[in-house]
Amino acid sequence: MAREDLPELPPINDDNLRRTALNCDRTAADECPPDVTLGPHPPSNPTEASATNKLLELYGDANMNYLIDRILETRARNRLHHLKMSKILSRNDVLGHMCYRSGLLDHPDLHMLDADRWAIQLWVEGDMEGDPPKVLANLFEAYMGALWVMGNGDFTLMYRWLERFVDALWIYASDPADLSSTEQRGPFDPPHHESCCIIAMFNSLDSPLPDIIREGAFLREMLGKMAEDAVWVPFVFDDNDVLQLPHSEMLERGENCLRMLILNAYLMATSKSFRIFLTREGESKAYYLTKLRDLIMTPAVLARIASGLALHDWFGSTSAQLRPSNEKSSQALMSAIGWFDRFFDESRPQMLHFIQLMIPCAIETLQEHGYHESQGSREA
């Protein structure tokens, strides 16, 4: 695909935000040998940015995956078709190629360490065989994150550009063999956390759980209204605890929405302004926030929230209602979030307040296990 086939990236008008988005965090493992002569492309210009684009990349990745999944809903024939297209268009190798063709490497504010410049040079000299260096995908995601910050958390600008991006690419990600598939899959690869973290998170949730249940009542209200419909189908699972149609269609949307909401709710819960993306303090939080998000998205934790909301009331069998497993309950919660996001797109602040109440619990749990907000990695 040629550069002219891609929509032109919107400009980032804030100087500090643009410089931060283009100040690439290092990804290359190998140093650039001292006897290597680096070519002029990509260049590495001086930068006045105080931080790298690491935190912008994290938020750009979460917000972009959420929006790409939404855009593809109208183009997908079934759940597997939707899932695979969404995964392909969000892959680092695809985003790396798009970054290379987008013109970002020609930007006068681009700053990249020699190790990453050398990795790109080797990849280009090798006729772009193999995966592109990860710094390219990260740069693309960071630019998307900066568009979101520039809009003060509004998705409009980012959505409009991504819709054109998906329109140009989705046909290449579509496999004809998937068009008639009826396969159902679990929503995601569950993040791993030590059992001691899960137990500690349960303890932390005890106190705010009544408030979380109150704030999450909108999910029960929505399911109650859906159940009044003559064609309502309850949550049904197969023998492997995999959620079935029609609710399984909302699992990807719910997962990506939840990933996005957790990161955005963290800013609200900790009273962080968007200026944090421009600081070294913010740069160091990317690793920590990944741990925090993974903790909340652990099936056992999601199941605890789902149990508090009594989402098992809408399970299709009495046995599942009486003994809801973590896998079933966590999928029910993510599906419910997906449905709510589809039906009540303008009510995202309501979901943010719901998720925001879980953030202090996760912070407390991580702190007990050596992960601190002020540190970029686990305490030694």
Q: How far apart are CA 313 and CA 320, in angstroms?
A: 9
Q: Does residue 2 sit within a domain?
A: no
Contacts of 262 (CB under 8 A, 6+ apart): 292, 293, 296, 297, 355, 358, 359
Share of the chain above pLDDT 90, in %: 80
For residues 164 and 192, state if they share a domain. Answer: no
Q: What is the pLDDT of residue 290?
A: 94
For residues 329 and 223, state if they share a domain. Answer: yes
Partners of 243 in the beta sheet? Answer: 237
For residues 237 and 296, state if they share a domain. Answer: yes
Please tell me which residue, 195 or 234, carries the higher pLDDT value.
234
Mean pLDDT of the chain: 92
Q: Cα torsion at 166, 111, 149, 173 (round to 10°)?
A: 10
Please tell me which residue, 182 or 277, carries the higher pLDDT value.
277
Q: What is the pLDDT of residue 182?
A: 82
Is 41's pLDDT higher than 90? no
Q: What is the pLDDT of residue 1?
A: 58
For residues 69 and 210, state if they share a domain. Answer: no
Q: What is the pLDDT of residue 190?
A: 64
**SS3 state at 243:** strand
DSSP-derived secondary structure for 44-81: ------SS-SHHHHHHHHHHHHHHHHHHHTTT-SSHHH
Tokens 């939080």 found at: 285
For residues 121 and 193, state if they share a domain. Answer: no
Q: Does residue 235 sit within a domain?
A: yes
Q: What is the pLDDT of residue 216?
A: 98
The model's pLDDT over 15-36, given as tens digits with 9 standing for 90+, comes to 999 999 999 999 999 999 999 9
Other C-beta atoms within 10 Å of 222: how many? 17
Residue type present at position 242: V
DSSP state letter for 75: T
Q: Does residue 150 sit within a domain?
A: yes
Q: What is the pLDDT of residue 187?
A: 47
Q: What is the pLDDT of residue 189?
A: 62
Tokens of 6: 């891609």
Q: How far apart are CA 373 and CA 276, in angstroms?
A: 13
Q: Does residue 274 sit within a domain?
A: yes
For residues 321 and 289, state if they share a domain. Answer: yes
Q: Using DSSP, how many helices (H) and how many strands (E) does the chain show?
A: 18, 0
Q: What is the mean pLDDT of residues 65-70?
A: 96
**Residue 376 — very low, low, confident or very high, per pLDDT cuts 50/70/90?**
low
The model's pLDDT over 216-229, given as tens digits with 9 standing for 90+, comes to 999 999 999 999 99
Partners of 238 in the beta sheet? Answer: none
The model's pLDDT over 73-123, given as tens digits with 9 standing for 90+, comes to 888 888 888 889 999 999 999 999 999 999 999 999 999 999 999 999 999
Tokens of 219: 């999910």
Highest mean pLDDT of the ranges 3-7, 80-84, 129-133, 169-173: 129-133
Q: What is the pLDDT of residue 104?
A: 95
- Domain closes at, from 161, 181, 201: 181
For residues 214 and 362, state if they share a domain. Answer: yes
Q: What is the pLDDT of residue 29?
A: 93
C-beta of residue 23 within 8 angstroms of C-beta of residue 48: no
- Domain closes at, from 181, 215, 243: 181
For residues 370 and 226, state if they share a domain. Answer: yes
Contacts of 2 (CB under 8 A, 6+ apart): 101
Q: How far apart are CA 148 and CA 60, in angstroms?
A: 7
Helix/strand/coil (H/E/C) assignment for every residue in 143-206: HHHHHHHHCCCCCHHHHHHHHHHHHHHHHHHCCHHHCCCCCCCCCCCCCCCCHHHHHHHHHHHH
For residues 169 and 298, state if they share a domain. Answer: no
Partners of 237 in the beta sheet? Answer: 243
First to last CA, the chain: 47
pTM equals 0.93
Tokens of 235: 């949550």
Is 10's pLDDT higher than 70? yes
Q: What is the pLDDT of residue 378?
A: 45
Is 40's pLDDT higher than 80? yes
Q: How far apart are CA 85 and CA 238, in angstroms?
A: 24
**SS3 state at 69:** helix
For residues 50 and 174, state if they share a domain. Answer: yes
Is 264's pLDDT higher than 90? yes
Structurally, how many domains does the chain consist of?
A: 2
Is 380's pLDDT higher than 50? no
Task: Print the domain residue range for 288.
Answer: 184-380
For residues 87 and 166, state if they share a domain. Answer: yes
The model's pLDDT over 302-338, given as tens digits with 9 standing for 90+, comes to 999 999 999 999 999 999 999 999 999 999 999 999 9
For residues 372 and 258, state if they share a domain. Answer: yes
Query: Which CATH number do you get for residue 91?
Result: 1.10.1520.10
